[in-house]
Amino acid sequence: MTNYQLIYDYKDNQKYRESFNDLTKLVFGLDFSHWYEKGCWNDQYICYSYIDGETVIANTSITKMTVVVNGKEYNAIQVGTVMTHPDYRHKGLARKLIDFIIDKYEDQCEFIYLFANETVLDFYPKFGFSRVQESRYFLITDILKKKSTTTIRKLDSKNINDLSLLHLYAKERILVSSVLSVKDNESLLMFYFLIAYPNSIYFIEEEEVIVLFEKEDEELHLFDVISRSKIDVKEVLSYITSSEIKRINFHFIPDCQDTESEVIDAKDDVLFIRPMIKFGTDRPLFPLTSHS
């Protein structure tokens, strides 16, 4: 293999950062520049990349996470943004980067985890990762009371006041789930506000809560509920459901009675962990907005 140079932790180096961003746009169709410009790329997210000359050709990033399982805090590392330029694939670059990250961090954390797509499900077990079956939580809306009048406002991250509100709530949010959640996740949550779901953010004035959701036919997908004090999830739902919605799909484990769950038979976003931990539930689900 050609002796490419390994670089890391270069978020403040414009040349390398822009090259990294070019690669994320090519591979994932994602532009990280807005996230960086708004001051959201902090020291929790670190890129490990190979460069050819001055061009980033392969990358594996880590995000330092505090995962909370039934009140117990775990120091964890999440692996993400695994990508290789098409012209440099099949050279073992991703394997070398993952080996490097495991060697560097396995003694500094309690577990390492990642979410993989269907093309690499056989790849990560080679590094000692075990596949974990996640579940989907949902609620049939027959039991919900719907608000006749609501005060709900769509937020725009391009508006300076709305952006300040998003920063405040991302920084001061409480755990979304008492079963399985993450804390101190401001940087990653801002990525979802700015990049992943910029058109799906709403503020419920009366409840002082931000909700991230989308409607699809007769279903509502609730990606996250961001509040600075304890809230009643059903009360929040009453503001955003409508008569045509028959089912609420939670993309986290809700602290809510009457919810049902089913095993996810998914081939994308498959959870892998190294080493395995006890979740305290046989139906784990990491909050979607904690995926890096």
- Flag whether pLDDT at 71 surpasses 60: yes
Amino acid letter at 44? Q
β-strand pairing of 111-116 with 72-84: parallel
Q: Could you read off the pLDDT of 157-174 as tens digits, one per residue?
A: 999 999 999 999 999 999
Q: Could you read off the pLDDT of 110-139 as tens digits, one per residue?
A: 999 999 998 888 999 999 999 999 999 999
Q: What does the alpha-carbon distance between residue 245 and residue 141 come to, in Å, rounded to a whole number? A: 7
Q: What does the alpha-carbon distance between residue 284 and residue 266 come to, in Å, rounded to a whole number? A: 14
Closest CA to 32 of 191, 163, 164, 159: 191
- DSSP β-bridge partners for residue 212: 201, 224
266 pLDDT band, cuts 50/70/90, is confident
Residue 225, CB-side half-sphere exposure with 13 Å CA sphere: 28
Q: What does the alpha-carbon distance between residue 112 and residue 109 come to, in Å, rounded to a whole number? A: 7
Please indicate whether residue 36 or residue 119 has the higher confidence score (pLDDT).
Answer: 36
Amino acid letter at 282? D
Contacts of 40 (CB under 8 A, 6+ apart): 186, 187, 190, 191, 194
Token pair of 272, please? 């892998």
Q: What angle do CA 182, 74, 188 make, to 5 degrees?
A: 30
- 156-186 as b/e, with b when 16 or more CB fall inside 10 Å? ebeeeebbebbbebbeebebbbebbbbeebb
The model carries a pTM of: 0.93
Contacts of 139 (CB under 8 A, 6+ apart): 237, 247, 248, 250, 254, 256, 258, 259, 260
- DSSP β-bridge partners for residue 114: 79, 272
Residue 21, CB-side half-sphere exposure with 13 Å CA sphere: 18
Report the pLDDT value the prediction gives residue 257, as an integer from 0 to 100. Answer: 84
Q: What does the alpha-carbon distance between residue 272 and residue 21 come to, in Å, rounded to a whole number? A: 26
- Flag whether pLDDT at 149 surpasses 80: no
Q: Could you read off the pLDDT of 179-233 as tens digits, one per residue?
A: 999 999 999 999 999 999 999 999 999 999 999 999 999 999 999 999 999 999 9
Domains with residue ranges and CATH for the chain: 5-134+265-290 (3.40.630.30), 137-263 (3.40.630)
Helix (H, G, I), strand (E, B) or coil at 128: coil
- DSSP β-bridge partners for residue 131: 272
Token pair of 17, please? 């950062």
